[in-house]
Amino acid sequence: MEKVLDKNILLYMHAGSGNHGCEAIVSSLADIMQNAGMAQDGENDKKEMTLLSYRAAEDEKYTLSGKCNIVNERSFDDHKLAHILYYIYRKITKDEESFIRYRYKGLINPEKIDIAVSIGGDNYCYDSMLKDLRLSNNAFKKAGIPTILLGCSIEPDLLKRDDIIDDLGNYSRIIARESITYNAIIAAFKEKGIPGDKVFLVPDPAFSLKTENIQDSALPKEFAAGNTVGINISPMIQSNEKIEGITITNYRKMISYILENTDMSVALIPHVVWANNDDRIPCHKLYEEYAKEYPGRVCEIGDCSASELKAYISRLRFFVGARTHSTIAAYSSLVPTLVVGYSVKAIGIAKDLFGTDENHVIPVQTLKEDDDLLDAARWLFEHEVEIKNRLTDIIPKIKEDNLMYKDILVVE
């Protein structure tokens, strides 16, 4: 018999669906957990998956409203007096979690929530996130609610920090999405005497993201289905470059080569559209540089849901992407992909898929010459069949492994 969800699960540390990777995680996870058919303890006691969101309006705009109960975090930006009062209260009582309890709107409550799942992926790689991660974890644990860290990627060097290990040890379960992180956590836990049986290795749930049904006739006229190179560039990788301007220069070299030396078209595909971190800005800049010179061969894809973006990506011949979940959409659609990465997540995912990250990931920090990205793309083009065959073999197993979330998320 198919297992159904019999716990009230809260997903937290979700920043909003304007990052379509965040949307893809929640959407896929909800489908895997079969949220629409939750088990019932009693006639009127239906279990729920609740999404605590920093930007609930974005989640309503795209695809998540029908998949889970969406609750918007309280923001002190909207309640200045509350911020002052909580600040004074915290100073007097030393109750650091008071800010978290306010933001989380009464959801740190075992009568409402059985399990709290942190879905931030690589949040532990950002110093600005560490305090909120720790305080949230502590607040749930003090309330008697088990916590799970889901789909994480963590730089191994960070696991030398006692504060991070102490926090990770406080989770009931940890699910790493790639083996570099998994092995590093196991080793760090062993050194500290923390049981390793709470750590699991399961691919990112977004490998199982459903693809929207978009007909070829609905594609932009410049988009040649099956003969287009999809390109994603992000402000995130540009901010991690070691030589100012080297990233955009490398993208230009690669695009020029494609348009001048092949018959393939180019589609610029944004995957994050937040005002302070908007892929559309560098994508549109590149579009304007090439669209007029090469009419009929260059297009840009507008903002749409994660499943719709995956539909465009699935029609590509090749993909060169910066955003992790844009590349996961490509991998899982069997599209040969080159990742322009900046952290352990890109390297770890590629190693698990291909046995090596060499030729599959080019870290933006390593870009030194104008044609480094072009050289990597040429290798991709030359090994098209080999890469496609590998993806054809492994992606079904990856999607099967995703079903493990059904068991791991139900903590007794």
- Give how far Cα 176 sits from Cα of 110, 140, 143, 150, 249, Å: 26, 21, 25, 7, 34
**pLDDT tens per residue, range 135-176:** 999 999 999 999 999 999 999 999 999 999 999 999 999 999
Average pLDDT over residues 89-113: 87
Average pLDDT over residues 187-211: 96
How high is the mean pLDDT of the chain? 92
Average pLDDT over residues 321-348: 96
94 pLDDT higher than 90? no
pLDDT computed for residue 39 by the predictor: 44
**pLDDT tens per residue, range 25-59:** 999 999 998 744 444 444 445 678 999 999 999 99
Residue 324: pLDDT band (50, 70, 90) is very high
pLDDT computed for residue 36 by the predictor: 40
Average pLDDT over residues 66-90: 80
Lowest mean pLDDT among 27-41, 214-228, 251-265, 379-393: 27-41
Q: What's this model's pTM, rounded to 2 decimal places?
A: 0.94
CB 102 within 8 A of CB 74: yes
- Give how far Cα 300 sits from Cα of 231, 266, 291, 337, Å: 9, 8, 9, 18
Place of tokens 């929530």: 113
Average pLDDT over residues 4-33: 92
**pLDDT tens per residue, range 221-235:** 999 999 999 999 999
Average pLDDT over residues 184-202: 96
